[in-house]
Amino acid sequence: MKTDSIFYRLFQSFPSIFFELIQQPPQLANVYQFSSVEVKQLSFRIDGVFLPNSVELPIYFSEVQFQADKKFYSRFFTEVFNYLDKTELTNNWRGVVIFPSSSVDTGERQRYIELLNSQRVNRVYLDELTSTTEPSLGIETVKLIVEPEDTATTKARELITSAQQQIANEVTQRELIQLIETIIVYKFPRLSREEIEQMLGLGELKQTRVYQEAFQEGKLEGKLEGKLEGKLETIPQLLTLGLSVEQIAKALGIEVELVRKIASEKVSSDDTNT
Protein backbone atom coordinates (compact mmCIF):
# COMPACT_ATOMS: atom_id res chain seq x y z
CA MET A 1 0.00 0.00 0.00
CA LYS A 2 1.27 3.48 -0.84
CA THR A 3 0.98 4.64 2.74
CA ASP A 4 3.08 7.78 2.34
CA SER A 5 0.72 9.28 -0.23
CA ILE A 6 -2.35 8.28 1.76
CA PHE A 7 -1.08 9.93 4.94
CA TYR A 8 0.03 13.03 3.05
CA ARG A 9 -3.44 13.37 1.57
CA LEU A 10 -5.07 12.59 4.90
CA PHE A 11 -3.10 15.20 6.86
CA GLN A 12 -3.44 17.82 4.14
CA SER A 13 -7.23 17.42 3.98
CA PHE A 14 -7.84 16.69 7.67
CA PRO A 15 -4.86 18.04 9.68
CA SER A 16 -6.86 17.72 12.90
CA ILE A 17 -6.37 13.93 12.68
CA PHE A 18 -2.61 14.39 13.11
CA PHE A 19 -3.10 16.19 16.40
CA GLU A 20 -5.58 13.54 17.55
CA LEU A 21 -2.93 10.87 16.88
CA ILE A 22 -0.49 12.59 19.23
CA GLN A 23 -3.20 13.30 21.83
CA GLN A 24 -3.21 17.06 21.29
CA PRO A 25 -6.31 19.26 20.82
CA PRO A 26 -7.48 18.78 17.19
CA GLN A 27 -8.30 22.51 17.09
CA LEU A 28 -4.55 23.20 16.91
CA ALA A 29 -4.81 22.36 13.21
CA ASN A 30 -6.26 25.84 12.70
CA VAL A 31 -2.90 27.47 13.44
CA TYR A 32 -0.72 25.03 11.47
CA GLN A 33 -0.03 24.52 7.79
CA PHE A 34 0.85 21.03 6.59
CA SER A 35 3.23 20.72 3.66
CA SER A 36 6.54 19.31 2.48
CA VAL A 37 9.69 21.40 2.79
CA GLU A 38 12.89 21.31 0.78
CA VAL A 39 16.38 22.17 1.94
CA LYS A 40 17.80 23.29 -1.39
CA GLN A 41 21.43 23.48 -0.28
CA LEU A 42 21.34 19.77 0.59
CA SER A 43 18.87 18.66 -2.09
CA PHE A 44 16.52 16.75 0.20
CA ARG A 45 12.84 17.07 1.01
CA ILE A 46 10.92 16.38 4.22
CA ASP A 47 7.46 15.22 3.18
CA GLY A 48 5.47 15.88 6.34
CA VAL A 49 5.94 19.14 8.20
CA PHE A 50 3.41 21.10 10.25
CA LEU A 51 4.52 24.74 10.34
CA PRO A 52 2.81 26.93 12.99
CA ASN A 53 1.62 30.51 12.60
CA SER A 54 3.27 31.46 15.89
CA VAL A 55 6.87 31.28 17.14
CA GLU A 56 5.59 29.99 20.50
CA LEU A 57 4.33 26.75 18.95
CA PRO A 58 6.63 23.90 17.86
CA ILE A 59 7.27 22.67 14.34
CA TYR A 60 6.10 19.07 13.91
CA PHE A 61 8.11 16.76 11.65
CA SER A 62 6.04 13.70 10.73
CA GLU A 63 7.32 10.53 9.11
CA VAL A 64 5.41 7.42 8.04
CA GLN A 65 7.52 4.26 8.25
CA PHE A 66 5.91 0.99 7.16
CA GLN A 67 9.12 -0.92 6.37
CA ALA A 68 11.75 -2.15 8.82
CA ASP A 69 14.88 -0.03 8.41
CA LYS A 70 17.94 -0.19 10.69
CA LYS A 71 19.08 3.29 9.62
CA PHE A 72 15.69 4.96 9.90
CA TYR A 73 16.43 7.10 12.98
CA SER A 74 19.81 8.13 11.60
CA ARG A 75 18.15 9.42 8.45
CA PHE A 76 15.19 10.98 10.26
CA PHE A 77 17.23 13.00 12.76
CA THR A 78 19.72 14.00 10.07
CA GLU A 79 16.90 15.51 8.01
CA VAL A 80 15.35 17.26 11.03
CA PHE A 81 18.59 18.82 12.26
CA ASN A 82 19.69 19.83 8.77
CA TYR A 83 16.36 21.61 8.31
CA LEU A 84 16.66 23.34 11.69
CA ASP A 85 20.19 24.44 10.80
CA LYS A 86 19.16 25.94 7.44
CA THR A 87 15.83 27.52 8.33
CA GLU A 88 15.43 31.01 9.74
CA LEU A 89 12.56 29.84 11.94
CA THR A 90 13.35 29.82 15.66
CA ASN A 91 10.48 27.57 16.80
CA ASN A 92 10.99 24.59 19.04
CA TRP A 93 10.35 21.21 17.40
CA ARG A 94 8.74 17.81 17.83
CA GLY A 95 9.05 14.60 15.81
CA VAL A 96 6.20 12.18 15.13
CA VAL A 97 6.83 8.76 13.58
CA ILE A 98 3.91 6.58 12.51
CA PHE A 99 4.47 2.81 12.35
CA PRO A 100 1.91 0.11 11.51
CA SER A 101 3.12 -1.80 14.58
CA SER A 102 5.99 -1.85 17.06
CA SER A 103 7.53 -4.82 15.21
CA VAL A 104 8.44 -2.48 12.32
CA ASP A 105 10.22 -0.08 14.71
CA THR A 106 13.62 -1.73 14.24
CA GLY A 107 15.86 1.30 13.71
CA GLU A 108 19.12 1.61 15.65
CA ARG A 109 18.19 3.54 18.81
CA GLN A 110 21.17 3.54 21.16
CA ARG A 111 22.75 6.72 19.77
CA TYR A 112 19.38 8.53 19.91
CA ILE A 113 17.97 7.06 23.10
CA GLU A 114 17.83 10.42 24.94
CA LEU A 115 15.71 11.92 22.16
CA LEU A 116 13.46 8.87 21.86
CA ASN A 117 12.85 8.75 25.62
CA SER A 118 12.07 12.47 25.82
CA GLN A 119 8.98 14.39 24.79
CA ARG A 120 10.77 15.38 21.57
CA VAL A 121 9.66 12.30 19.66
CA ASN A 122 6.27 10.62 19.63
CA ARG A 123 6.08 7.13 18.12
CA VAL A 124 2.59 6.07 17.06
CA TYR A 125 1.77 2.38 16.48
CA LEU A 126 -1.46 2.15 14.51
CA ASP A 127 -2.34 -1.35 15.71
CA GLU A 128 -2.20 -0.13 19.32
CA LEU A 129 -4.58 2.80 18.89
CA THR A 130 -7.52 2.19 21.19
CA SER A 131 -11.08 3.40 20.84
CA THR A 132 -12.45 5.71 23.49
CA THR A 133 -16.01 5.91 24.76
CA GLU A 134 -16.63 8.28 21.84
CA PRO A 135 -14.54 6.92 18.95
CA SER A 136 -13.05 9.53 16.64
CA LEU A 137 -14.03 9.21 13.00
CA GLY A 138 -10.58 10.45 12.01
CA ILE A 139 -8.70 7.95 14.19
CA GLU A 140 -10.91 5.10 13.00
CA THR A 141 -10.15 6.06 9.39
CA VAL A 142 -6.41 5.92 10.12
CA LYS A 143 -6.83 2.50 11.75
CA LEU A 144 -8.49 1.28 8.54
CA ILE A 145 -5.03 1.37 6.93
CA VAL A 146 -3.91 -1.57 9.09
CA GLU A 147 -7.31 -3.29 9.30
CA PRO A 148 -7.11 -6.98 8.22
CA GLU A 149 -8.43 -7.58 4.70
CA ASP A 150 -11.19 -9.91 5.87
CA THR A 151 -12.78 -7.15 7.97
CA ALA A 152 -11.64 -4.05 6.08
CA THR A 153 -14.68 -3.83 3.79
CA THR A 154 -17.14 -4.06 6.66
CA LYS A 155 -15.17 -1.47 8.63
CA ALA A 156 -15.08 0.85 5.62
CA ARG A 157 -18.86 0.64 5.20
CA GLU A 158 -19.30 1.53 8.88
CA LEU A 159 -17.00 4.53 8.47
CA ILE A 160 -18.88 5.75 5.40
CA THR A 161 -22.16 5.54 7.31
CA SER A 162 -20.61 7.42 10.23
CA ALA A 163 -19.29 10.10 7.88
CA GLN A 164 -22.78 10.59 6.44
CA GLN A 165 -24.25 10.88 9.93
CA GLN A 166 -21.59 13.00 11.64
CA ILE A 167 -20.33 15.39 8.94
CA ALA A 168 -22.85 18.02 7.96
CA ASN A 169 -20.70 19.72 5.32
CA GLU A 170 -21.25 17.79 2.08
CA VAL A 171 -17.84 18.70 0.62
CA THR A 172 -15.96 17.53 3.72
CA GLN A 173 -18.12 14.42 3.89
CA ARG A 174 -17.38 13.56 0.25
CA GLU A 175 -13.66 14.10 0.75
CA LEU A 176 -13.46 11.73 3.73
CA ILE A 177 -15.52 9.09 1.89
CA GLN A 178 -13.11 9.34 -1.04
CA LEU A 179 -10.18 8.79 1.32
CA ILE A 180 -11.86 5.72 2.78
CA GLU A 181 -12.44 4.43 -0.74
CA THR A 182 -8.79 5.10 -1.66
CA ILE A 183 -7.55 3.08 1.32
CA ILE A 184 -9.68 0.13 0.21
CA VAL A 185 -8.44 0.49 -3.38
CA TYR A 186 -4.85 0.14 -2.14
CA LYS A 187 -5.78 -2.80 0.07
CA PHE A 188 -7.35 -4.66 -2.88
CA PRO A 189 -5.19 -3.73 -5.89
CA ARG A 190 -6.59 -6.52 -8.06
CA LEU A 191 -10.14 -5.15 -7.91
CA SER A 192 -11.36 -2.43 -10.26
CA ARG A 193 -12.68 0.91 -9.02
CA GLU A 194 -16.19 -0.20 -10.02
CA GLU A 195 -15.89 -3.38 -7.95
CA ILE A 196 -14.69 -1.36 -4.97
CA GLU A 197 -17.65 1.01 -5.30
CA GLN A 198 -20.01 -1.96 -5.35
CA MET A 199 -18.33 -3.50 -2.27
CA LEU A 200 -18.73 -0.25 -0.36
CA GLY A 201 -22.19 0.60 -1.67
CA LEU A 202 -20.94 3.84 -3.23
CA GLY A 203 -22.51 3.47 -6.66
CA GLU A 204 -25.89 4.91 -5.71
CA LEU A 205 -24.36 7.50 -3.37
CA LYS A 206 -22.20 8.98 -6.12
CA GLN A 207 -25.25 9.46 -8.31
CA THR A 208 -27.17 11.51 -5.77
CA ARG A 209 -27.64 15.24 -6.36
CA VAL A 210 -26.07 16.16 -3.02
CA TYR A 211 -22.89 14.19 -3.76
CA GLN A 212 -22.61 15.63 -7.27
CA GLU A 213 -23.10 19.19 -6.03
CA ALA A 214 -20.49 18.68 -3.32
CA PHE A 215 -18.08 17.37 -5.95
CA GLN A 216 -18.59 20.48 -8.07
CA GLU A 217 -18.07 22.86 -5.13
CA GLY A 218 -14.52 21.61 -4.67
CA LYS A 219 -12.21 21.25 -1.71
CA LEU A 220 -11.30 24.91 -1.24
CA GLU A 221 -14.81 26.13 -0.62
CA GLY A 222 -15.40 23.32 1.82
CA LYS A 223 -12.34 24.33 3.83
CA LEU A 224 -13.34 27.97 3.87
CA GLU A 225 -16.80 27.29 5.28
CA GLY A 226 -16.81 27.52 9.02
CA LYS A 227 -13.23 28.83 9.04
CA LEU A 228 -13.92 31.58 11.58
CA GLU A 229 -15.92 29.22 13.78
CA GLY A 230 -13.00 26.78 13.81
CA LYS A 231 -10.58 29.55 14.80
CA LEU A 232 -12.81 30.67 17.67
CA GLU A 233 -12.98 27.09 18.97
CA THR A 234 -9.16 27.03 18.99
CA ILE A 235 -8.74 30.06 21.27
CA PRO A 236 -9.37 28.34 24.66
CA GLN A 237 -6.85 25.62 23.79
CA LEU A 238 -4.20 28.18 22.82
CA LEU A 239 -4.83 30.10 26.03
CA THR A 240 -4.27 26.87 27.97
CA LEU A 241 -0.96 26.43 26.14
CA GLY A 242 0.16 29.80 27.54
CA LEU A 243 -0.13 32.04 24.48
CA SER A 244 -1.11 35.66 25.09
CA VAL A 245 -4.22 37.28 23.60
CA GLU A 246 -2.05 39.26 21.17
CA GLN A 247 -0.09 36.18 20.08
CA ILE A 248 -3.29 34.22 19.44
CA ALA A 249 -4.82 37.07 17.43
CA LYS A 250 -1.71 37.27 15.26
CA ALA A 251 -1.49 33.49 14.75
CA LEU A 252 -5.17 33.17 13.79
CA GLY A 253 -5.35 36.41 11.82
CA ILE A 254 -8.34 37.80 13.75
CA GLU A 255 -9.04 40.90 15.84
CA VAL A 256 -7.51 41.14 19.32
CA GLU A 257 -10.85 42.22 20.78
CA LEU A 258 -12.50 39.05 19.53
CA VAL A 259 -9.84 36.94 21.24
CA ARG A 260 -10.27 38.96 24.46
CA LYS A 261 -14.02 38.31 24.34
CA ILE A 262 -13.51 34.54 24.05
CA ALA A 263 -10.83 34.64 26.77
CA SER A 264 -13.20 36.52 29.08
CA GLU A 265 -15.95 33.97 28.45
CA LYS A 266 -13.50 31.17 29.26
CA VAL A 267 -12.54 32.78 32.57
CA SER A 268 -16.22 33.21 33.49
CA SER A 269 -16.90 29.60 32.62
CA ASP A 270 -13.92 28.37 34.70
CA ASP A 271 -15.08 30.44 37.68
CA THR A 272 -18.58 28.98 37.40
CA ASN A 273 -17.24 25.42 37.35
CA THR A 274 -15.00 25.89 40.42
Characterize the bridge pairing of strands 121-125 and 93-99.
parallel
pLDDT score at 126: 94
> Tens place of pLDDT for every residue, the chain, 274 residues?
567 788 988 998 899 999 999 999 898 999 999 988 776 665 567 778 999 988 999 999 999 999 999 999 999 999 999 999 988 999 999 999 999 999 999 999 999 999 999 999 999 999 998 755 567 899 999 999 999 999 999 999 999 999 999 998 888 888 898 899 989 988 888 888 788 888 888 866 565 555 555 455 444 344 444 466 667 777 887 877 777 788 787 777 777 777 887 887 766 666 555 5
DSSP percent split of the chain into helix, strand, coil, nearest 5: 60, 15, 25
Do 232 and 221 belong together in one domain? Answer: no
pLDDT score at 201: 84
The residues, ordered by sequence, that sit 6+ positions from 160 with a Cβ below 8 Å of its Cβ are 177, 180, 200, 201, 202, 205
pLDDT score at 156: 95
Count of structural domains, the chain:
3
Do 107 and 11 belong together in one domain? Answer: yes
C-alpha separations of 180 from 131, 138, 161, 258 in Å: 18, 10, 11, 37
Do the beta carbons of residue 141 and residue 129 sit within 8 Å? Answer: no
CA distance 198 to 185: 12
Q: Which residues constitute the domain of residue 164?
A: 147-225
Whichever domain contains 57, its CATH number is 3.40.1350
Do 211 and 261 belong together in one domain? Answer: no
* 107 three-class SS: coil
Do 114 and 190 belong together in one domain? Answer: no
Do 202 and 254 belong together in one domain? Answer: no
CA distance 163 to 77: 37
pLDDT score at 151: 95
Does residue 139 fall inside a structural domain?
no
Do 53 and 118 belong together in one domain? Answer: yes
